[in-house]
Structure 1
C-alpha cells in the first residue's frame, strides 16, 4: 500500500524539486483542555503529481499532518470559535471518540467524525475521509485503508452540492471501488460518469475535461482487474520509468507481469536508460 522508492526518491530527482523546508516550531494551544504543544512549521514544499486516489506526490509528507492534542487527541483542523469549542468539548470527551482514538484511527478519520457531528457540509467531511484513506495507506495498513475506502464509496454515492465538486468526488469514488476490487461496480460508475456531457467554459470546462481524461485512464486497470494503489500506466511517464528502474530497490516490490511488458516498450526503455545513467553518476559522486 505504501508509495515506493520510485515515486518518492526517484520522482524528486527527476523533477529537480527541492526538499521541504521547515521554520521555527509554533506553539499550539489545544482548544479543548488548554494544553500547549509544539508543532513544526512547514515553510515550503514542492508537488509534482498525484496518485490515482488524489494524494499529491511531492517533497512533503502528504497529506500534510494535522496538529493533534497530545492528551485528548483532538485534531486541530480549524480555528475554532467559542461556540465551536462548546460543541467540541463533549464530543472529544465521549466514549465513542475515545474508542476511535484507542483503535488507532488516523487524525483525518477523527477529523471527519467530528466534522459530521459539528454540522460541516457532507462533501467536506467526505473529502477528509478520502484523505484519511491516504493516511492509512501511508501507514501500510491495508485493512484500515479498505475500510475507509468502503466508507468513502458509500458516502460519495449520495453527495449533494456544487455539481463540479460532486462530479470530482464521484470520479474518485470509481478509483476507490477499483482499489476495493469491486471492478464491475467501478466500471458501471465510470461509464455513467463518462456519459455526463462536458459543459461549461474556461476553468470549469478544463476541469471537467480533466475528470473525463482521468475516468478514461481508469478503463485499462479496471479491465485487467488491477487493484493496486498506483498502477504503472496511471503514473506520469517519468514516474513510470522510475518504477521500472526501482523494482526491488529499497523495499520496492518486484515488477508484475503487466509491468514487465509495460517497461519493455521502446519509450520506457529509453527513459529508464537515461535515468540509470543519472543514478549511476550520483552513486559514483557519493562514493
Structure 2
C-alpha cells in the first residue's frame, strides 16, 4: 500500500511539469487485519508531482495526501503492515469510544497519527502523519489550525539534528506552520536558529550549479536551504497564505494570475506586482491559448476530432 509521507528529499530542483496524469487501478479486494472483513479499494497506479506548498503538500495529478484503505466496519486505516501483537492491541483500540468518536470528527491521517501513537509512541512518523492531516483540513480553518497545533506540539519536542535532512525538513515545516498561524516572531526564531549561513557552507550558489552536483545529499541540502530562504521572504512580508504565488512554479503562478485577472480583489498588491514580472508575463503568454479556452470547449473539440478519426 502507498502512504504519502514527506521526507527530507524535498525534490525542489525538479521544477519542470510532468505530463503524466494520475491513473487509478480497478478496485482490489482487501481483508481487514482486524475482524477479517473483506472490502474493495482502488489504488493509484501512477501520478505525477511538480513541487509542493510551503507546508509540504504536493502539487500533482492526484489527490494528496493519498488516503490508505479504510476498513468499513471498525474504521482501521491500513496505512502500514501490522505485527500480530499490534493487531491484538488494535482490537481494543478500534473498539474504544475515543477512536470511534474520532471517526466522526477527524480526518483519516489524524486518526493514523492517533493509532500510531497508541502502538508506538516514539515513532518519528507521527509528526509527518499530523502534517498530512493538516493538508486534509484545507477546507476547515478551525480543524486545520488544531492539526497545525498538534504538529507543532510534537515537532518542537524532537531532538535537534542539524546534520539530518529529515530534521531540517521538519524545522522548515515548523517555521511555515507558525507563519500560517500568524505567529511571525516564532517563525522568525526558527529561521534564525537554523542559521542559513552555516547551512549553506560548501553548497553551490545557483540552481544551475546545484543541478550539476553528483552528491545527492548536497543537492537535497541545497534544495532545503533555497526553499528556506524563499519562505523567509514570504514571512518577512507577513503573508499567512498557504499558497503564496512566489513559492509556486512560475507556470502555476501564471495560471492563477491569468484566471484572476478580471477580479482584482482576488489578488493583493504583492500578487498584482508579481503577476506583472517579466517571467510570469512570459508564462502567461505561453499558456494563454490553453487557459483561454474553457474545459467544455476543449472537450467538445477533442470529441469532434475523435469522431473525425
TM-score, normalized by length of structure 2?
0.80
**Alpha-carbon spacing, 1:190–1:270, altered in 2? closer, same or farther (3 Å):** same
Superposed displacement of residue 164, structure 1? 2.3
The 5-angstrom pairing of residues 68-107 of structure 1 reads 68-103=70-105, 105-107=106-108
3-state secondary structure, aligned to 2:266 = coil
3-state secondary structure, aligned to 1:28 = strand
3-state secondary structure, aligned to 1:43 = strand
Distance in 1 between the 2:88 and 2:67 partners? 25
Question: Greater shift after overlay, 261-270 or 161-170?
Answer: 161-170
3-state secondary structure, aligned to 2:188 = helix
3-state secondary structure, aligned to 2:45 = strand
Ranges in structure 2 where 5+ consecutive residues have no aligned partner? 1-15, 203-213, 302-309
Distance in 2 between the 1:248 and 1:81 partners? 55
3-state secondary structure, aligned to 1:100 = helix
Question: In structure 2, which of residues 278, 284, 309 is the aligned counterpart of residue 266 of structure 1?
Answer: 278
Q: Is the 8 A contact 2:18 2:50 kept in 1?
A: no
Instruction: Map Cα deviations across residues 177-224 of structure 1 (whole Å, 9 max, x no partner).
Output: 111111111011112113453479922222222211111011221112
Ranges in structure 1 where 5+ consecutive residues have no aligned partner? 1-13
Question: In structure 1, which of residues 26, 30, 38 is the aligned counterpart of residue 32 of structure 2?
Answer: 30
Instruction: Map Cα deviations across residues 136-162 of structure 1 (whole Å, 9 max, x no partner).
Output: 11xx11111111111111211121486
**Alpha-carbon spacing, 1:230–1:34, altered in 2? closer, same or farther (3 Å):** same
3-state secondary structure, aligned to 1:32 = coil
Instruction: Map Cα deviations across residues 93-138 of structure 1 (whole Å, 9 max, x no partner).
Output: 11211222222x111100011101111544211011101111111x
Residue in 1 that maps onto 2:187:
186
3-state secondary structure, aligned to 2:89 = helix
Question: Greater shift after overlay, 162-171 or 14-23?
Answer: 14-23
- The higher radius of gyration belongs to 2
Cα RMSD after superposing both structures: 2.4
The 5-angstrom pairing of residues 47-62 of structure 1 reads 47-62=49-64
Total equivalences in the alignment: 269
Instruction: Map Cα deviations across residues 232-279 of structure 1 (whole Å, 9 max, x no partner).
Output: 011111111111012279x9x821221111111222222212211233
Is residue 63 of structure 1 aligned with residue 75 of structure 2?
no
Residue in 2 that maps onto 1:238:
251
Residue in 1 that maps onto 2:239:
226
TM-score, normalized by length of structure 1?
0.86
Distance in 2 between the 1:170 and 1:115 partners? 21
Residue in 2 that maps onto 1:134:
135
Q: Is the 8 A contact 2:199 2:225 kept in 1?
A: no
Superposed displacement of residue 15, structure 1? 3.4
Q: Is the 8 A contact 1:123 1:161 kept in 2?
A: no
Residue in 2 that maps onto 1:11:
none
Superposed displacement of residue 31, structure 1? 1.5
Residue in 2 that maps onto 1:119:
120
3-state secondary structure, aligned to 1:75 = coil
Residue in 2 that maps onto 1:279:
291
Distance in 1 between the 2:160 and 2:199 partners? 18
Distance in 2 between the 1:209 and 1:41 partners? 33
The 5-angstrom pairing of residues 240-255 of structure 1 reads 240-247=253-260, 254-255=266-267
Higher relative contact order structure (alpha carbons within 8 Å, sequence separation ≥ 6): 1
